[in-house]
Amino acid sequence: MSPLRRACPTARPRVLRSLLAGTLLALLAKPAAAEEITVYTTLLPTQLAPYTQSFRQSHPDISLKWMRDSSGVIAARLLSEGPRSQADVVFSLASENIIQAGSADLLLPYKPAGYDEIDRKFKDKNDPPLWSGIFAYMAAICFNTKEAQKRGIPTPKKWSDLLDPRFKGQVTMPDPASSGTGFISVSGWLQKFGEGPGWDFMEKLHTNIAIYTHSGNKPCNSASSGEFVAGISYSSEGVLDKGRGAPIDVIFPEEGVGWALSTVAILKSSKKQDAAKKFADWAVSPAANKVYSEFWEVIARPEQRRQSSNQAVDPSTLITDNDHYWIASERDRILKEWQSRFAGKRDPKP
């Protein structure tokens, strides 16, 4: 006979009540499942862990589902999904892409806590803002000094130096249709040189280009490994590769460089806007900027910037006027023109 059957009749209800009370207390003590938000991002997989750790330190009740791809793919997905987007937040998408999403009425106006304290160049012109800048990245040349010496190729100081016939087949750059890094180079040349001279420069550069890669960091990595002598990429990747011992110089050409802001924004269609707002608050916070400084040279809160011995110049001085809104409005036209001229050397493998 069970202990419960052996207990006296009046004891049974007390035992049952005690068991039920214990079960209820256990259920109440058990932590509730974390609310999950979906974040579209262009960050590299190797960068996701420190961002996740930093966010969860302040918001352990919210988990992050990262969905990552190149900026061109993320931007196209946002516009094609429209108000049916799977995402709650977009994180690290280039300014010209997020401005297009804002023009399509896909973003929730929101001023994150601490927004007033970030660098003015990182702010949307709308009030309240549709997006917030978090870090900046700029075009640069990753130049393999060891391979260049073997091949008798001079160190470039200007963009026009890459037109030297000795660079033929030794230059790579990202495809601007799939990579934000590629697009900032193209938009930078068009702004620095003017439309006509800008396209003329790209036509001449195309002669020396070996391949247009899908990835923004691959040209720099290829230069670092010695596969090619020069890779047009973003400067932060070059600084990281040089810090790992790669025989490269990170060169900022004298004519000036293109650059873009990486941003954070909330999707208007999100069903979890409160959690998404907490993510946006974190994204402009000192804690998040401290993580940015591990990977990026120019961040929204300059006081959190980490100085690198691999930088020949202060990169913040390179962040001059850049018309993000003009770039966003002209992006489709520019890409259509670029593809009609140069698509033949695209890397066929994504």
pLDDT per residue rounded down to tens, the chain (350 residues): 433 333 333 344 443 344 343 333 333 333 355 799 999 999 988 889 999 999 999 999 999 999 999 888 899 999 999 999 999 999 999 998 999 999 999 999 999 999 999 998 899 999 999 999 999 888 999 999 999 999 999 999 999 999 999 999 999 999 998 888 899 999 999 999 999 999 999 999 999 999 999 988 899 999 999 999 999 998 888 888 888 999 999 999 988 888 888 999 999 999 999 999 999 999 999 999 999 988 887 899 988 876 554 444 555 556 566 788 898 999 999 999 999 999 999 988 76
Beta bridge partners of 40: 67, 90
Are 70 and 299 within 8 A, CB to CB?
no
129: cis peptide before it, omega within 30°?
no
Are 70 and 97 within 8 A, CB to CB?
no
pLDDT at 89: 98
* Alpha-carbon radius of gyration of the chain: 25
| Beta carbons within 10 angstroms of residue 151's beta carbon | 12
Indicate the pairing of strand 171-174 with strand 209-213. Answer: parallel
Please tell me the distance from the alpha carbon of residue 148 to that of residue 166, in angstroms, as a whole number: 10
Amino acid type, 102: G
pLDDT at 163: 98
Please tell me the distance from the alpha carbon of residue 119 to that of residue 109, in angstroms, as a whole number: 19
Map residue 258 onto helix, strand or coil.
coil
pLDDT at 30: 34
pTM, to two decimals: 0.76
Residues 6+ apart with CB under 8 A from 120: none
